Structure 1
Amino acid sequence: MHTPHAQAATGDAFRDVFAQLPAGVTVVTTSGPGGIEPSGMTASAVCSLSLDPLLVLLCLNNHSNTLARLKTTGAFAINILRHDQAHCAAQFADRRISQADRFARTPHHHTDGLPVLTEALAWLTCQVAKTHPGGDHTIVTGEVRTLGSGAGDGGQPLVWHSRTFRTLA
């Protein structure tokens, strides 16, 4: 039997604890003025916030190019990935891949002037409601403008757990 133990609250220990909490995988997208120069990143710190009004919450690293563009544009899309889109999640998480290449490799269309991943399980477009500092991240709330499902066959979502992509059983 495993004996529980406490340890110092460090960044590594904190990440280890939260690695045990499964999270849905999304790609957050936005674009520059006039819908050009799309930007996107993989994010798992995303959730519904309110039904009245319809609000979402996401947390993005302060050094993210997508966060900077989102603040300038004032709008973003959340693309919920399907179980078979781990390659897409990895691509949008890889800082070595340019934003232009990420979108060139990924089927997408524009809704409300925002890039939406065509094969996502579901998606929402949002107007930024507020941003709040949250340590090394920024907490973004957004009011939902449009939502829909992707062109794929539906199915199960992609999940992030124990630092790897997984599917539901």
Structure 2
Amino acid sequence: MSVDASQFKNALKLWASGVTVVTTQSEKQGLKGMTATSFASVSVDPPQILVCLNKITDTGGALLESRHFAVNILTSDQQDVSNQFAGNSTQAERFASVDWENGDNGAPLLSRALACLECKVVQQIQAGTHWIVIGEVEKVICRSGEPLLYYNGAYRQLSPA
């Protein structure tokens, strides 16, 4: 018995997640970045994470070409950045209105992100419409703040204790 796509999407909307912008830079394709909520830790030793990227995205293609990327974990006041990197704007427009700098591996690091993880691709797995990309974390930058969350089709923030 197969689950229909709308049922599947409705169930996944009930999973609260943090919001990231995955960035890369390749020689052929230049700067690329996209909003992604499919992000998780994989291993502590060696330090590895995974991101899931739709195969049709230009960010995914550039990431697999460059073999380096960054995961920028957004703060609660970066909804506009999430929307900017999720929308139909050009890649140049996405990067034009956000402060960023090149990381050690060449991937763009968003200057106001809660955390930035610079990674090299160690494995890619094709799964349906997506690539599961496993990256070894080579450098981490952490800042203070609260995370941007996404739940049931809307941005959320942590409640004070």
Fold similarity call, TM over 0.5: yes
Asked if residue 59 in structure 1 is aligned to residue 49 in structure 2, the reply is no
- Provide the residue aligned with 1:155 in structure 2: 145
TM-score in terms of structure 2 length: 0.94
Q: Which residue of 1 aligns with 2:27?
A: 33
SS of 2:30 mapped into structure 1: coil
Q: Which runs of 5+ in 2 are unaligned?
A: none
- C-alpha distance after superposition, 1:36-74 (max 9, x if no partner): 821000000001100111100111101010000001000
**Percent of matched pairs sharing the same residue:** 38
Larger radius of gyration: 1
* 1:89 paired residue number: 82
Selected match of 1:111 from 103, 106, 124: 103
Indicate the RMSD between aligned Cα atoms, in angstroms: 1.6
The answer to whether residue 2 in structure 2 is matched with residue 11 in structure 1 is no
TM-score normalised over the length of structure 1? 0.90
Shift of residue 99 of structure 1? Answer: 0.3
Equivalent residues, number: 158
Following TM superposition, by how much is the alpha carbon of 1:84 offset from its aligned partner in structure 2, in angstroms? Answer: 0.6
User: Which residue type is aligned with residue 66 of structure 1?
Assistant: T
CA-CA distance at 1:149 after TM superposition: 2.1
Q: Structure 1 stretches of 5 or more lacking a match?
A: 1-7
Alpha-carbon distance, 1:111 to partner? 1.0
